[in-house]
Amino acid sequence: MAETNKKKMIKLACTGLGIILFASAVVFVFSSSKLYSQEDEDRALLERAKTFFAPLTEKVIDNPQNPVTPEKVNLGKMLYFEPRLSKSGFISCNSCHNLASYGVDNLPTSIGHKWQIGPRNAPTVLNAALHTAQFWDGRAKDLEEQAKGPVLNPKEMASPHEGFVVDRLKSIPEYVELFKKAFPEEKDPLTYENVAKAIAAFERTLLTPSRFDNFLQGDLNALTKEEKEGLKTFIEVGCTTCHRGKGVGGDIFQKFGLVKPYYEVIKYKDKKQIDIGRYAITKNEGDKYVFKVPSLRNVTRTYPYFHDGSVWSLEEAVKIMAEIQLGRKLTDDEVKKIVAFLKSLEGEIPEDALKLPVLPASTPQTSKPDFK
């Protein structure tokens, strides 16, 4: 009798153990299936993203007509921070494109000579080398051409003419030597053209790869779950129509207000504030309200938004863009997800760019600051 009970107990124990093992196996299989399913989903998102975007892997975006060299970059960095390029001796490139605040001044529009207010928001200089053209209206074909503009603009740095800038720099022996090193094949290297080339060479090093680039290169863990959902929403909503490529924008021109006029959504007290965009340059009717599509890299740090700096909230900017460009009213959840994705585009500013250069001293021959 005792032997029979013992056998029953053993049988029950074995049955119970079998149930436990079976249940554990089911849980393991279910968990594994769920795990693999999420990885497959992430990989599918990655492959879809790669049809719209390309990773930023370069350390320099070169220009065959102005090859980037260490000597040019060193000189260009000094000139970028050099206030003596301005008539007042007070304003530098960095004044409006502050590298410490991601290449912008975080003002609706910038303050120039004699406290004049510029007409458009200062776009970030970071990753600008990726763009198809420079300025909101694309009037400069590249960074070299762009660098010439603000120095002579009466509302910006206000130097009266190219010779004024060259003479001021030539009065400083250290600059004369630095231009010789940067442009060794030229007989008279300190020219206004080379001022712009040196600044542009420095700007071509201002690239900020981000976690999104790691994701595009295959690191599925580079983005959070919310950021991946945001990327998916960004694609599905249609943002990639304009914001795509290596710069996530910056490579095409588009009408601002494709579906609905932007000035009907952004209310202006003065209609003179309504900017006609590229039309002012081309006089082509089709270019009215057309602007270069901005890059969204570091967009979380480059507020306020749009060509006029009229919107301070990124969430609000996303809503407006969906409405006037795509004819969509986004839900708060969609906006939240897209903004989460946009945060993954924030990269690190090159360490060397954040180290202030020591500028050479003026000489008795250097023209004095002029605030008139």
Q: Would you call 49 helix, strand, or coil by DSSP?
A: helix
In-domain check, residue 7: no
Q: Is the pLDDT at 27 greater than 60, yes or no?
A: no
Domain that holds residue 335: 211-343
Tell me what pLDDT residue 269 has: 76
Single-letter residue type at 299: V
Among 207, 234, 258, the domain-final residue is 207
Among residues 100, 147, 73, which one has the least CA distance to residue 135? 147
Give the pLDDT band (50/70/90) at residue 273: confident
Q: Is the pLDDT at 277 greater than 50, yes or no?
A: yes
How far is it, in rounded angstroms, from Cα 250 to Cα 130?
7
Q: Is the pLDDT at 17 greater than 80, yes or no?
A: no
Among residues 107, 139, 132, which one has the least CA distance to residue 242? 132
**Is 260 in the same domain as 199?**
no
Question: Stretch 150-158: mean pLDDT, rounded?
Answer: 98
Give the pLDDT band (50/70/90) at residue 36: low
Among 207, 226, 254, the domain-final residue is 207
Tell me what pLDDT residue 333 has: 98
**Is 125 in the same domain as 240?**
no
Please tell me which residue in 82, 144, 156, 323 is annotated as part of the active site: 156
Give the pLDDT band (50/70/90) at residue 30: very low
CATH number at residue 150: 1.10.760.10
**Is 336 in the same domain as 258?**
yes
Q: Is the pLDDT at 14 greater than 60, yes or no?
A: no
In-domain check, residue 359: no
Among residues 86, 89, 211, 102, which one has the least CA distance to residue 156? 86
**Is 265 in the same domain as 182?**
no
Tell me what pLDDT residue 126 has: 98
Among residues 237, 308, 316, which one has the least CA distance to residue 275? 308
Tell me what pLDDT residue 13 has: 47
In-domain check, residue 272: yes
**Is 292 in the same domain as 336?**
yes
How far is it, in rounded angstroms, from Cα 93 to Cα 151?
8
Does 162 qualify as catalytic in the annotation? no
Tell me what pLDDT residue 267 has: 81
pLDDT in tens, 299-309: 999 999 999 99
Supply 226's token pair: 């919310």
Question: Stretch 270-297: mean pLDDT, rounded?
Answer: 94
Tell me what pLDDT residue 102 has: 98
**Is 151 in the same domain as 188?**
yes
Question: Stretch 194-214: mean pLDDT, rounded?
Answer: 98
Question: Stretch 94-120: mean pLDDT, rounded?
Answer: 97
Contact 117, 111 (CB under 8 A): yes
Give the pLDDT band (50/70/90) at residue 20: very low
In-domain check, residue 132: yes
pLDDT in tens, 47-64: 999 999 999 999 999 999
**Is 156 in the same domain as 270?**
no
Domain count, the chain: 2
Among 176, 207, 238, the domain-final residue is 207
| pTM for the structure as a whole | 0.90
**Is 185 in the same domain as 109?**
yes
Q: Is the pLDDT at 44 greater than 90, yes or no?
A: yes
pLDDT in tens, 111-123: 999 999 999 999 9
In-domain check, residue 254: yes
Tell me what pLDDT residue 5 has: 53
How far is it, in rounded angstroms, from Cα 342 to Cα 224?
12
In-domain check, residue 64: no
**Is 96 in the same domain as 225?**
no
In-domain check, residue 171: yes
Question: Stretch 200-214: mean pLDDT, rounded?
Answer: 98
Tell me what pLDDT residue 29 has: 44
**Is 267 in the same domain as 186?**
no
In-domain check, residue 262: yes
Q: Does residue 173 have a cis bond before it (omega within 30 degrees)?
A: no
Give the pLDDT band (50/70/90) at residue 11: low
**Is 259 in the same domain as 293?**
yes
Q: Is the pLDDT at 147 greater than 90, yes or no?
A: yes
**Is 203 in the same domain as 215?**
no
| Dihedral of alpha carbons 314, 315, 317, 321, sign | positive
Contact 76, 63 (CB under 8 A): no
Q: Please, what is the end-to-end C-alpha distance for the chain in angstroms? A: 116
